[in-house]
Amino acid sequence: MSEFELLDPSGIPLGRPSTGSGAGGASPGAGAAGGGTDPLLDGLNPAQARAVTARGPALLIVAGAGSGKTRVLTHRIAHLIREREAWPSQILAITFTNKAASEMRERIEGLLGDAAQGMWISTFHSACVRILRREAERFGYVSGFTIYDSADSRALLKRIIKDLEADTYGFTPANTGSKISRLKNELSGADDYAATANESDPRDRLFVEIFRSYEQELRRANAFDFDDLIGQTVHLFRSHPDVAAVYQRRFRHLLVDEYQDTNHAQYALIRELTRPVEPEQVERLTPPARAAEIDAMGRIAAASLTVVGDSDQSIYAFRGADIRNIVEFERDFSGAEVVKLEQNYRSTQNILSAANAVIGNNFDRQEKHLWTAEGDGAKIVGFTGYSQHDEARFVAEEIEDLHREGVAYGDIAVFYRTNSQTRALEELLIRSAVPYRVLGGTKFYERAEIKDAMAYLTSIANPYDPIAWSRLLGAPKRGIGPMAEAQLANFQEERDISFHEAMLAAPDLGFGPKLRATITGLAELLHRAARMAAGLPSTASADGAAPEGDADSADDPAWAEGEKRPAPVADVLKLILDETEMIEKLRAKRDPQDEARAENLEELVAVAREFDVKNPGAGLLAFLTEVSLVAAADDLDDTSGTVSLMTMHTAKGLEYRAVFITGVEEGLLPHQMSVDEIGGVSEERRLMYVGITRARERLFLTLASTRAQFGDISVAMPSRFLQEIPEALIDWRQSPGEVTGRGGTESRALNAPRGGQGSASGSRAGRGATRTDSSVSFGASTAGRGGSGSAAVSEPASGNMQSALDKWRERKRLAKEAQRAGGGFPNLIDGTARDNGDLELTPGDRIRHDDYGEGRVTGVTGAGSKRIAHVVFDSVGERKLLVKLSPIAKVE
């Protein structure tokens, strides 16, 4: 609504129709005031400048890695505004992640100041939610609909599969969910699938049934899943041309980033938004179209479309991304212009050469000629560890070296293929007192206790949501079991009322006195919280003894005229937490894990409070939307000054001075799962390409020759991608050939002189490791410098697995706490001493470290549990160690 008002700021006419085909040449600064240089074009190369100033119905910017596409995109938008070709409200810019969106917004604000207000800069999903919330009533939803994340979808599917007894046919929530997701990304629903399904195949019929019932349940729950957000918006536009017309008219300029990662549904959405408004719809518009908007045929011209992408960075095929969208763009959108950005401003030549060499092995791609004016820079560093711990140790040491050389922690990133690889890395980083953070991974909002609390909020916003409701019944445990739940759910379904109403009817349902009281108590709490969230006065007298004022008598007129102001989300949440005593109950359990959970809940309150401050009066629904759509909670502070750990997928769009790519092994990168898939390896290669091109100055490629997964240890072969990089570019500190010899595992005996065929101890060598010849070419590389390359293995003797694990968890928790306590790595972890908490160290002391051997303490900084010892080791030189957690002891 309010955005629409911006559409028509009284008299000021638009400069010229932005979509008048092919009008603008590259005449820079056409309307710029003072002549001379145009700040928006200044410093851009010709291709970039063209990408900023080109006008026409469609523009494809082929942007190689590091070619300044964000700059181009932001400048293009700013240029449109400044040249008066568009109002901010006519801009719709779509990015892939929220992080990219907020970064873009910031940069545009930097160029335009307040003039950037009113633009839609968001992800596909956020934009669609915004549209759907506004138009929900058009197709039988309520604007307070819930957004199901994949866990919610799975919970729903689980129920359905169980009801249909489909599990015996091999249907699981996971495989069914991903199949449904795939279909939805192709915009096909249950009926479409049924039309093509094989009627005689019981599995197919059953799947149709599951799919149908899933869609039905979603609707009954007033919920959308992730894929629906896009798909339903498309359906909305197709079935309601008048609604579509509103958006087609409004958004005159559509800009899409990372276009190579769009799937079919997203493509369809773009198509819908870039259709002209036909005359019969033009007539129905409110406010009516002005003459300037309408062309000779009585239509409103199609919006202009700008897409930016790089087919070499397409890494989301598994999610339905269709590379054809970008490859066939010119054919798709007639009159499209193509601008190629090929100069790389990010990386050194060595890094770029490696990237080009790797990606060059993908056959079906258009050649690009990425080049840089930078020098060669440092060589890429390679390292092969004996184990993943050894690899991690190398990473930690190199990070410290870099740090000593003046590279800030915040300029360093460590990438990996799978989230499970973080463990070894985290352990070593903690021990080395390197501040780090993990992006993505186990997300804050996926934690059980957070989901519990969120279930209350969700249920308040949407009392028809069975998933949220069912979750909150059992959290905390209060004696409402499956039996009672089923009874309430049945009642709810029969009467077609909300779950909250069903609970209020509990007295009539023949529950025992205790249960009845519990249920009505809970119903009243939800009711109270709902009123609060809606901005209605809390019922009657102060809390404490719940007054008689039950639901039905809620129509007191007192608040009728006072404008309803939604209560701060944090207050609602606080009410829930206080009344349910969730936090207290966790604390009472005296388990450190539960203590952490309690803290998480407190953090959730803090998050909500922050949301309230940033979005005053936005209300519960906005909060829920943000939570379900925001990926990693802590994207926000890039300034935290810590090393960043993330998967390579998460890394897309980011850049760092120094980058470590870990686990560069066959089976991991490329991942085993991808090897059999068609095009799988190509996609992995693009992933590798993305990883490499994130690095500005320094690139480290590391691997391990053995890797522990699912319990036992297996031999790992170097990735084929390593072979694709010219040997001259890599400086091997320890090459694969030096470590694996002939594919055996020399697990512990590395101090033994090489060549002597060390004992192939422990694990069965060569299991499943059909000898590729990958390792052969590496044998020749040199050993690199002495010193830090060779040290004892760090494998902690795995005597007692369980206690070692517990120990590690505890250590990790403490260390995280320490990091969280304030900016980088300040003071404090109190009391709870561990390992060496009370170890006294003074300069001059000799100590022994499990990994590094003996060394001499040169200094101690920090206080309490944050004490950091500076030690010069005989073998590896200076290291910083967190005294409390390091495996060190004084040598007498």
Q: Is residue 594 near DNA by the rule CB under 7 A?
A: no
Cβ of residue 660: shortest distance to DNA, in angstroms? Answer: 17
Given the structure tokens 């046919």, which residue do they identify?
Answer: 169
Q: Which of 554, 588, 776, 805 binds DNA (CB under 7 A)?
A: 805
List binders of DNA among 292-351 (CB under 7 A). Answer: 315-316, 318-319
Q: Is residue 406 near DNA by the rule CB under 7 A?
A: no
Is residue 461 left, alpha or beta, with left meaning phi > 0 and alpha meaning psi from -120 to 50?
Answer: alpha
Catalytic residue among 70, 172, 418, 487: 70
Q: By CB under 7 A, which span of 16-24, 414-422, 543-551, 774-782 interacts with DNA?
A: 414-422
Q: Is residue 123 near DNA by the rule CB under 7 A?
A: yes
Cβ of residue 285: shortest distance to DNA, in angstroms? Answer: 30
Indicate the Cα dihedral angle 542, 546, 551, 557, nearest 10°. -20
Q: Which of 76, 85, 87, 96 binds DNA (CB under 7 A)?
A: 96
694 part of the active site:
yes
Q: Which of 480, 583, 664, 688 binds DNA (CB under 7 A)?
A: 480
258 part of the active site:
yes
Cβ of residue 319: shortest distance to DNA, in angstroms? Answer: 5
d(CA 337, CA 856): 65
Q: Using CB under 7 A, count the residues that bind DNA.
A: 47
35-39 own/partner pairs: CB under 8 Å, 24+ apart = none
Give the burial class of 747: count Cβ atoms within 10 A of its Cβ; 0-12 exposed, 13-18 middle, 19 or more buried: buried
List binders of DNA among 432-461 (CB under 7 A). Answer: 440
State yes or no: 67 annotated in a binding site. Answer: yes
d(CA 429, CA 439): 15
**Cβ closest to DNA, residue 585 vs residue 848:** 585
Cβ of residue 581: shortest distance to DNA, in angstroms? Answer: 14
Pairing of strands 846-849, 888-890: antiparallel
Catalytic residue among 103, 258, 452, 795: 258
- Do residues 689 and 356 make contact, with C-beta atoms less than 8 angstroms apart? no
What are the helix and strand counts (H, E) for the chain? 33, 24
770 part of the active site:
no
Q: Output the six-digit token pair for 466.
A: 């069975």
d(CA 440, CA 84): 40
Q: Is residue 142 near DNA by the rule CB under 7 A?
A: no
Q: By CB under 7 A, which span of 90-98, 275-283, 594-602, 775-783 interacts with DNA?
A: 90-98
d(CA 601, CA 1): 35
State yes or no: 68 annotated in a binding site. Answer: yes
Q: Is residue 259 near DNA by the rule CB under 7 A?
A: no
Site string for DNA, 817-856 (x = CB under 7 A): ----------------------------------------
Cβ of residue 93: shortest distance to DNA, in angstroms? Answer: 14
Catalytic residue among 528, 694, 696, 879: 694
For residue 266, the surrounding DSSP H or E stretch is: helix 264-273
Given the structure tokens 């009392």, which residue do they identify?
Answer: 463
Q: Is residue 807 near DNA by the rule CB under 7 A?
A: no
Cβ of residue 544: shortest distance to DNA, in angstroms? Answer: 25
State yes or no: 274 annotated in a binding site. Answer: no
Q: Output the six-digit token pair for 129.
A: 């939610």
Q: Which of 150, 538, 640, 790 binds DNA (CB under 7 A)?
A: 150
Helices within 655-735 (DSSP H only): 672-675, 680-692, 720-723
Q: Which of 20, 189, 360, 474 binds DNA (CB under 7 A)?
A: 474
Neighbours of 662 (CB within 10 A): 29
379 part of the active site:
no
DSSP character string of 658-672: EEEE---BTBBTTBH
Neighbouring residues of 473: CB distance < 8 A, sequence distance ≥ 6: 480, 484, 485, 522
State yes or no: 585 annotated in a binding site. Answer: no
Cβ of residue 671: shortest distance to DNA, in angstroms? Answer: 4
List binders of DNA among 371-400 (CB under 7 A). Answer: none
∠ CA 870-872-875, nearest 5°, is: 140
Q: Is residue 649 near DNA by the rule CB under 7 A?
A: yes
**Cβ closest to DNA, residue 103 vs residue 397:** 103
What distances in angstroms separate CA 174 from CA 148, 157, 168, 216, 445, one per listed residue?
15, 9, 15, 19, 20
Cβ of residue 174: shortest distance to DNA, in angstroms? Answer: 5
**Cβ closest to DNA, residue 324 vs residue 478:** 478
Q: Which of 67, 97, 233, 735 binds DNA (CB under 7 A)?
A: 97
Q: Is residue 629 near DNA by the rule CB under 7 A?
A: yes
Q: Which of 26, 142, 174, 891 binds DNA (CB under 7 A)?
A: 174
Q: Is residue 363 near DNA by the rule CB under 7 A?
A: no
Q: Output the six-digit token pair for 574.
A: 């606080």
Enter the DSSP assignment of 26: S
Q: By CB under 7 A, which span of 26-34, 92-100, 234-242, 842-850 interacts with DNA?
A: 92-100
Pairing of strands 643-647, 412-416: parallel
Enter the DSSP assignment of 63: E
Q: Which of 361, 418, 763, 777 binds DNA (CB under 7 A)?
A: 418
3-state secondary structure of 71: helix
Q: Which of 158, 235, 324, 834 binds DNA (CB under 7 A)?
A: 158
Cβ of residue 697: shortest distance to DNA, in angstroms? Answer: 25
Cβ of residue 263: shortest distance to DNA, in angstroms? Answer: 9
Q: Nearest Cα to 416, choosing from 688, 824, 163, 227?
A: 688
Task: Name the strands in the sheet holding 58-63, side by side, starting at the edge strand that comes first in the sequence.
Answer: 120-123, 91-95, 253-256, 304-309, 58-63, 336-341
What distances in angstroms separate CA 739 from CA 304, 449, 762, one per listed residue?
57, 45, 16
Neighbouring residues of 3: CB distance < 8 A, sequence distance ≥ 6: 89, 118, 120
390 part of the active site:
no
| Sign of torsion over alpha carbons 569, 570, 571, 576 | positive
Q: Output the six-digit token pair for 169.
A: 């046919």
**Cβ closest to DNA, residue 22 vs residue 479:** 479
Q: Which of 331, 373, 710, 842 binds DNA (CB under 7 A)?
A: 710
Q: What are phi and psi of 835, to 5 degrees?
A: 10, -95
Cβ of residue 864: shortest distance to DNA, in angstroms? Answer: 29
Q: Is the peptide bond before 796 cis (omega within 30 degrees of 0)?
A: no
**Cβ closest to DNA, residue 171 vs residue 193:** 171
Orientation of helix 226-239 relative to helix 124-135, angle to 10°: 50
- Do residues 836 and 886 make contact, with C-beta atoms less than 8 angstroms apart? yes
Catalytic residue among 257, 261, 666, 835: 257
- Do residues 309 and 63 make contact, with C-beta atoms less than 8 angstroms apart? yes
Site string for DNA, 223-252 (x = CB under 7 A): ---x--------------------------
Orientation of helix 69-82 relative to helix 46-53, angle to 10°: 40
d(CA 252, CA 276): 10
Q: By CB under 7 A, which span of 22-30, 73-81, 397-405, 704-712 interacts with DNA?
A: 704-712
Q: Is residue 179 near DNA by the rule CB under 7 A?
A: no
Q: By CB under 7 A, which span of 102-110, 413-421, 763-771, 823-831 interacts with DNA?
A: 413-421
State yes or no: 64 annotated in a binding site. Answer: yes
665 part of the active site:
no
Q: Is residue 130 near DNA by the rule CB under 7 A?
A: no
Site string for DNA, 783-802 (x = CB under 7 A): ---------------x--x-
Binding residues: 63-70
Binding site for DNA (CB under 7 A): 96-98, 123-125, 149-150, 158, 172, 174, 226, 315-316, 318-319, 417-420, 440, 474, 477-484, 629, 631-632, 647, 649-650, 671, 673-674, 677, 708-711, 798, 801, 805
Which active-site residues does the annotation give? 69-70, 257-258, 313, 694
Q: Binding site residues for ATP, as ranges?
A: 63-70
